[in-house]
Amino acid sequence: MGEDLDRITKENKIVVRDLIKIYNQGPQEVIALRGIDFEVKEGEFVSLMGASGSGKSTLLKILGTLDRPTGGLVVFDGQNISQLKDDQAVEFRRRKIGFVWQTENLVEGLTALENVLLPMRIAGKSKDTASKRAKMLLDTMGLKARADHRPSQLSGGQIQRVAVCVALANEPDVILGDEICGELDTETSERVMDYVRTANTDLQTTVVNVTHNPRVAKYADRVLHIRDGLIEGQKHTLYGDITEVDAKGRLVVPEEVKKLAGIEKRVVLKVTDEGLLVKPLDENKQNDK
Ligand SMILES: Nc1ncnc2c1ncn2[C@@H]1O[C@H](COP(=O)(O)OP(=O)(O)O)[C@@H](O)[C@H]1O
Ligand SMILES: [Mg+2]
């Protein structure tokens, strides 16, 4: 690749390289991510936008160590987190990540304040410290008057703002949001995103937010478009065709690739710094060593 990965990881909070995810459940494989590359700077707010099925949730789960990629790297603060063991992943998430989902972020029987207190109490923060921070967060998100309300007494937008407070409770470095405005109307979505923006700027929390809605996406410093498991605008022809290696080490080369590469019956294999080079063996020219 020839890039200076050390330097790039020093300059960024998150660096994603060649990320591939293949789901094997069911009779057929699904290639959800085909070689994703991007970086997120400390304090940045990035939107990942794409149609349903494009791989957004898959990518977000891997960023948050809720799932492991089939190939590639996620470097977070200089540490490769793509293949953490389960207990390491739990610890990593607890210290670094706040998640907000589309729905079901809150505990029904608890008030907004109690919901925000919960993760801090679990993490062992004192009642006093936790209570101060919870109130500050609810205040920042415009929910001061709603602290004692239960989820059933709150609107959809208010619930999602409480969810952002819950995610921020233990001072995560990064908030990962997956369609957090998915169930909200446009006006409410914009209000929620205004507050997410405030959390990003006032509390210096890095945000990666997944959405299919351009009006939600535009709140970010930068929008990355994801289509069919690839970031748009990135050339990844090399990784476009993931193929199988069978038990005997045979590589299945799809017809299209064969044609493009001029491959007929035999190929030459060469191990290079970049990986395995597969070249057609031109049987007419015997000078290929
Ligand atoms: N657990 C899974 N098992 C098999 N296929 C999956 C699984 N999760 C997602 N997929 C498939 O991976 C692709 C990307 O899904 P997803 O990341 O959920 O997309 P998005 O969030 O952009 O809608 C889809 O084709 C989806 O059906
Ligand atoms: Mg999704």
Average pLDDT of the segment spanning 229-246: 69
Ligand 1 site-directed mutation target among 58, 67, 225, most atoms within 8 Å of CB:
58
Q: Would you list the DSSP string of 73-131?
A: EEEETTEE-TT--HHHHHHHHHHHEEEE-SS--S-TTS-HHHHHHHHHHHTT--HHHHH
Q: Which of 137, 162, 136 is nearest to 149 (CA)?
A: 162
- Residue 160 structure tokens: 């999602």
User: What pLDDT is recorded for position 167?
Assistant: 96
Q: Looking at per-residue confidence, does 277 or 11 come out higher?
A: 11
Mutating to test ligand 1, I would choose from 31, 34, 52, 57 the residue with most ligand atoms within 8 A of its C-beta, which is 57
Length of the chain: 289
Cα separation of 63 and 99, whole Å? 11
Give the per-residue pLDDT at 237. Answer: 47
Ligand sitting nearest the alpha carbon of 26:
1
* Percent helix / strand / coil, the chain, rounded to 5: 35, 25, 40
| Ligand 1 near 158 CB (within 6 A) | no
- Are 84 and 92 in contact by the 8 Å Cβ rule? The answer is yes
Residue 113 has pLDDT above 70, yes or no: yes
Tell me where in the chain the CATH 2.10.260 domain(s) lie. 243-280
What is the DSSP pairing of strand 206-211 with strand 222-227?
unpaired
What tens digit of pLDDT does each residue of 77-107 get? 999 999 999 999 999 999 999 999 998 899 9
Going from the Cα of 101 to the center of ligand 2, the distance in angstroms, rounded, reads 10
The highest-confidence range among 174-178, 179-183, 250-254, by mean pLDDT, is: 174-178
Average pLDDT over residues 177-205: 93
The highest-level CATH class for domain 243-280 is mainly beta
**pLDDT value for 147:** 98
Distances (CA, A) of 252 to 76, 244, 283: 34, 6, 21
Distance CA 195, CA 193 (A): 5
Is residue 25 within 6 Å of ligand 1 at its C-beta?
yes
Query: Is the Cβ atom of 230 under 6 angstroms away from ligand 1?
Result: no
Return d(Cα 250, Cα 230) in angstroms, integer: 27
Averaged pLDDT, 269-282: 82
pLDDT at res. 258: 80
Of 53, 59, 74, nearest to 9 (Cα)?
Answer: 74
Query: What kind of fold does domain 42-66+86-226 have according to CATH?
Result: Rossmann fold (3.40.50)
Residue nearest to atom 25 of ligand 1 (CA): 53
What is the pTM for the complete model shown? Answer: 0.85
Q: Cβ(185)–Cβ(10) under 8 Å?
A: no
| Cβ 55 under 6 angstroms from ligand 1 | yes
Q: Mean pLDDT, the chain, as a whole number?
A: 90
Q: Is the CB of 92 under 6 A from ligand 1?
A: no
The residue-averaged pLDDT of 261-280 equals 83
| Confidence grade of residue 275 (pLDDT, cut at 50, 70, 90) | confident
Task: Answer whether 42's CB lies under 8 Å from 203's CB.
Answer: no
Tokens 């007929």 found at: 264
Q: Provide the percentage of residues in the chain whose pLDDT is more than 90.
A: 71
- Where does CATH 3.40.50.300 sit in the chain? 42-66+86-226
CA nearest to 216, candidates 56, 59, 18, 62: 56
Tell whether the model's pLDDT for residue 26 goes beyond 90.
no
- Which stretch of DSSP H or E encloses residue 255? helix 255-261
pLDDT at residue 77, rounded to an integer:
97
pLDDT given for residue 271 in this prediction = 87
pLDDT over threshold 60, residue 70: yes
Among the residue ranges 38-47, 170-179, 234-243, the one predicted with the least confidence is 234-243
Neighbours of 173 (CB within 10 A): 17
> For residue 54, which ligand has an atom nearest its CA?
1
Q: Which pLDDT value is given to residue 287? A: 47
How far apart are alpha carbons 227 and 233 in whole angstroms? Answer: 10
Distance CA 189, CA 173 (A): 23
pLDDT score, position 116: 98
Residue with the smallest CA separation from ligand 1 atom 7 is: 23
Can you tell me the mean pLDDT for 121-133?
95
206-211/45-49 β-pairing: parallel
